[in-house]
């Protein structure tokens, strides 16, 4: 064969085969095992052919290497993350945060006065609980209007100023939005109760006409444990309420309802320039239109059922719910394009993990930016114990159900849960905050968790002082076990009167008696306080490996929980924590992913005990990962040079 023909053929072969091989090796192969050069040269006998083939080979070889390099860069380049992914979300229970008017209740101007504190934590996204006018039965979640401000919290002028001040600080605002139900005092419901076929609000709620005033149309149970149906004499029909009877469910099969809810959303997103919503009680938006009974959970009796006694196949996670979410996402994206900034759509997800995929995608259409994850909220001394293997299982179970390329999130608690310090003990607060902030994905923090606030003691709240109707309905003997007031006590700012929350004589809920020594002011002065540690952890999570790197459990046993966060081209981080009450020695160098020699990034001392071994892990000091010692509730973060 002519040498020039061979040159062309080999050049084409090299240039074509090289890129193909490069792509293959990028994802499946080991480049260094390549012996192509020698196999080619062995077939060459002619001197002129040697030169031509040699040149052709190296041209192809160079192209292959270049493509290999570019393919690896593309595969491992840092993702472009949005603000709702990179920033920590700080949840504020408005009425308990800070009182600027000294009437005993927190308010919008109280939030304004504490914006610099919130930003100093490193938390740049604020989620505020409902500040709409309400019937006062469910902490603001029984709204009488979705486009106004409750005078208890201030005025619309106050809200506008709050938004302005948040944005001036390069921060973001999420509103709690309640679409599933309204208060029974809402004018929509008052109109809907009228037995008038021509009333435009007639179908705004879920009604079941019946002359039987005693037997509800289905066996459906409300979240708060009673029948989900209440009879209305005027309308001569039962109305549905999946929460309190004072919270009738809206009928989302009614086009006028969907239009009104969208109008309310647009009001806040477009006119008031809020940055997104946390959608409350999302899974309850639609119910079975045939009003069939729900099946019993195995072992549950048909008498005296509570919410957990039914499989909620008729009242939750109906297909229409996810279709509506897709429509909302389209609206959010449309508004985001107009404003040139993402409007975040975050939904409450108390469903089984098997349903989580539909919150992100439905019929190949994007839905929520993320669905709130409640896995860590189950950590409780009376539930899922705070043990390394339990934590590992909770994380892996969530990751297993989360669709690929969907964004994760974590939270330790909220205004409906016992505070994490009460559930797992104050000695574990730093470990829990580290898990929440460093596992990966968006971290959501309930105000007060940064200082390890605890629930109000049971004997510090009388029945007359109880503000939570869902707990109060159980009566004086049982309210203390059911009320959510205990996790909603006022924020502890200082050791001054009422913990610095208010100067009034009586706050809306009592202040925790430990406020004298557990407060923001005192913890700011201490380098190893919960607050100082929290701020340092938030700062650390801005590193690429914590921000978007892979998560890999390392050593997990009865005492130790450790994991590796690693982003290509950046230093990895190895986090190890001792859950036990004794000194533990552990070998973390169990795979090639763990360097034998590492450097200390951060060391958190656990509970102080005279019997503890004196450990002195200075930042940047080297240590061997095969021989690490940790005292009770210690946490250490290690790193080493990045490898490709």
Q: Give the pLDDT of residue 58.
A: 63
- Residue 40: pLDDT band by 50, 70, 90 thresholds? very low
Is pLDDT above 90 for 620? yes
Is pLDDT above 70 for 44? no
Name the domain boundary from 525, 558, 586. 525
Q: Quote the CA–CA distance of 26 and 53 in Å, as a whole number.
A: 26
- Neighbouring C-beta atoms of residue 524, cutoff 10 Å: 15
Is pLDDT above 50 for 35? no
Q: Flag whether 205 is in a domain.
A: no
Q: Are strands 370-371 and 276-279 parallel, antiparallel or unpaired?
A: unpaired
Q: Are residues 562 and 521 in the same domain?
A: no
Q: Flag whether 53 is in a domain.
A: yes
Residue 501 C-beta-side C-alpha neighbours within 13 Å: 29
Is pLDDT above 80 for 271? yes
**Residue that the structure tokens 């060391």 belong to:** 603
> How much is the pTM?
0.89
- Mean pLDDT is highest, among 24-38, 41-55, 72-86, 382-396, for 382-396
CB 206 within 8 A of CB 191: no
For the residues 253-280, what does the mean pLDDT come to? Answer: 99
Q: Structural domain tally of the chain? A: 3
Catalytic residue among 280, 323, 380, 593: 280
Catalytic residue among 150, 275, 348, 468: 348
Is pLDDT above 60 for 544? yes
11: tokens are: 């050049």
Residue 570 C-beta-side C-alpha neighbours within 13 Å: 18
Q: Flag whether 564 is in a domain.
A: yes
Q: Are residues 388 and 507 in the same domain?
A: yes
Q: Flag whether 230 is in a domain.
A: no
Q: In this predicted model, what pLDDT tens digit does every residue of 88-116 receive, in sequence order?
A: 999 999 999 999 999 999 999 999 999 99
Instruction: Return the C-alpha torsion angle 465, 470, 476, 482, nearest 10.
Output: -100
Annotation marks residue 485 as catalytic: no
Q: Give the pLDDT of residue 72.
A: 55
Q: Are residues 13 and 160 in the same domain?
A: no
Q: Quote the CA–CA distance of 633 and 612 in Å, as a whole number.
A: 11
DSSP state of 379: B
Q: H/E element holding 200?
A: none
- CA neighbor of 245 nearest in space, from 117, 370, 137: 137
**Residue that the structure tokens 């920590």 belong to:** 88
Q: DSSP strand E in 426-545: where? A: 442-446
Annotation marks residue 469 as catalytic: no
CATH number assigned to the domain comprising residue 552: 2.60.40.1180
Q: Flag whether 201 is in a domain.
A: no
Q: Is 544 helix (H, G, I), strand (E, B) or coil?
A: helix
Q: Are residues 348 and 414 in the same domain?
A: yes
Separation of first and last alpha carbons in the chain: 44
Name the domain boundary from 525, 552, 575. 525
CB 228 within 8 A of CB 235: no
Q: Are residues 494 and 596 in the same domain?
A: no
Is pLDDT above 90 for 45? no
Is pLDDT above 80 for 541? yes
Q: What integer best gives the mean pLDDT of the chain?
A: 91
Q: Give the pLDDT of residue 88.
A: 99
Q: Are residues 451 and 584 in the same domain?
A: no
Q: Quote the CA–CA distance of 297 and 572 in Å, as a whole number.
A: 46
CB 299 within 8 A of CB 309: no
Q: Across the beta sheet with 635-639, what order do the strands follow? A: 550-556, 560-566, 573-578, 635-639, 597-604, 622-624
Q: Are residues 455 and 388 in the same domain?
A: yes
Q: Give the pLDDT of residue 19.
A: 52
Q: Are residues 13 and 92 in the same domain?
A: no
Q: Give the pLDDT of residue 33.
A: 42
Q: In this predicted model, what pLDDT tens digit does every residue of 157-201 receive, in sequence order?
A: 999 999 999 999 999 999 999 999 999 999 999 999 998 999 999
Q: In this predicted model, what pLDDT tens digit does every residue of 314-327 receive, in sequence order?
A: 999 999 999 999 99
CATH number assigned to the domain comprising residue 461: 3.20.20.80
**If you write DSSP's letter for every residue of 33-99 in order, what string do you get?**
G--HHHHHHTT--SHHHHHHHHHHHHHHHHHHHHHHHHHHHHHHSPP---HHHHSPEEEE-GGGT--
For the residues 285-298, what does the mean pLDDT come to? Answer: 96
Q: Are residues 327 and 462 in the same domain?
A: yes
Give the residue numbers spanning the domain of 615: 543-639
Q: Are residues 547 and 476 in the same domain?
A: no
Contacts of 421 (CB under 8 A, 6+ apart): 429, 449, 452, 453, 454
Q: What's the 3-state SS for 260-290?
A: HHHHHHHHHHHHCCCCEEEECCHHHCCCCCC
For the residues 626-642, what does the mean pLDDT come to? Answer: 97
Q: Are residues 284 and 344 in the same domain?
A: yes
- Residue 381: pLDDT band by 50, 70, 90 thresholds? confident
């Amino acid at each position: 064969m002519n040498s020039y023909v061979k040159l062309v053929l080999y050049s084409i072969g090299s240039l074509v085969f090289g890129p193909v091989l490069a792509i293959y090796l990028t994802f499946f192969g080991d480049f260094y095992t390549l012996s192509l050069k020698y196999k080619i040269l062995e077939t060459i006998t002619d001197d002129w052919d040697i030169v031509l083939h040699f040149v052709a080979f190296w041209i192809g070889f160079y192209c292959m290497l270049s493509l290999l390099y570019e393919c690896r860069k593309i595969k491992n380049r840092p993702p472009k993350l949005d603000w709702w992914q990179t920033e920590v979300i700080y949840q504020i229970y408005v009425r308990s945060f800070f009182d600027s008017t000294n009437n005993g209740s927190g308010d919008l101007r109280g939030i304004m006065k504490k914006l610099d504190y919130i930003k100093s934590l490193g938390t740049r996204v604020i989620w505020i609980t409902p500040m709409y006018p309400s019937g006062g039965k469910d902490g603001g979640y029984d709204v009488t209007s979705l486009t106004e401000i409750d005078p208890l919290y201030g005025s619309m002028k106050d809200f506008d100023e709050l938004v302005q001040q948040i944005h001036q600080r390069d921060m973001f605002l999420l509103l709690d939005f309640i679409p599933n139900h309204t208060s029974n005092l809402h004018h929509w419901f008052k109109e809907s109760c009228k037995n008038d076929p021509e009333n435009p609000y007639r179908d705004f709620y879920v009604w079941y006409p019946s002359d039987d005033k005693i037997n509800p149309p289905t066996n459906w149970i409300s979240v708060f444990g009673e029948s989900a149906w209440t009879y209305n004499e005027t309308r001569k029909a039962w109305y549905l309420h999946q929460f309190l009877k004072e919270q009738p469910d809206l009928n989302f099969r009614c086009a006028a309802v969907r239009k009104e809810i969208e109008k309310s959303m647009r009001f806040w997103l477009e006119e008031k320039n809020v940055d997104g919503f946390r959608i409350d009680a999302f899974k309850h938006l639609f119910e079975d239109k045939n009003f069939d009974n729900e099946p019993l959970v195995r072992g549950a009796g048909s008498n005296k059922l509570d919410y957990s006694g039914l499989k909620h196949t008729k009242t939750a996670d109906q297909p229409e719910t996810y279709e509506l979410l897709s429509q909302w996402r389209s609206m959010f994206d449309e508004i985001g394009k107009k404003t040139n900034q993402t409007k975040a759509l975050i939904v409450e997800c108390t469903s089984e993990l098997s349903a989580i995929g539909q919150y992100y995608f439905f019929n190949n259409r994007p839905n929520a930016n993320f669905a709130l994850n409640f896995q860590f909220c189950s950590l409780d001394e009376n539930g899922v114990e705070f043990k390394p293997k339990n934590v590992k299982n909770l994380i892996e179970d969530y990751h297993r159900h989360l669709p690929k390329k969907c964004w994760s999130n974590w939270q330790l608690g909220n205004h409906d849960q016992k505070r994490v310090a009460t559930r797992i003990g104050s000695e574990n607060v730093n470990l829990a905050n580290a898990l929440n902030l460093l596992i990966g994905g968006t971290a959501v923090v309930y105000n007060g968790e940064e200082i390890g606030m605890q629930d109000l003691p049971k004997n510090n709240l009388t029945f007359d002082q109880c503000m939570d109707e869902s707990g109060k309905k159980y009566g004086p003997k049982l309210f203390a076990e059911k009320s959510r007031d205990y996790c909603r006590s006022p924020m502890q700012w200082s050791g001054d009167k009422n913990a610095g929350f208010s100067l009034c004589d009586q706050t809306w809920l009592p202040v925790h008696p430990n406020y004298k020594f557990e407060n923001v002011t005192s913890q700011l002065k201490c380098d190893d306080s919960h607050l100082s540690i929290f701020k340092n952890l938030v700062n650390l999570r801005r590193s690429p490996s914590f921000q978007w790197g892979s998560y890999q459990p390392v050593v997990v046993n009865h005492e130790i929980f450790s994991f590796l966060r690693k982003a290509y081209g950046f230093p990895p981080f190895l986090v190890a924590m001792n859950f036990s009450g004794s000194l533990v020695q552990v070998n973390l160098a169990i795979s090639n992913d763990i360097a034998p020699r590492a450097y200390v990034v951060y060391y958190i001392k656990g509970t102080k005990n005279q019997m503890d071994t004196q450990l002195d892990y200075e930042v940047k000091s080297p240590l061997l990962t095969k021989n690490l010692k940790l005292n009770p509730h210690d946490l250490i973060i290690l790193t080493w040079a990045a490898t490709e």
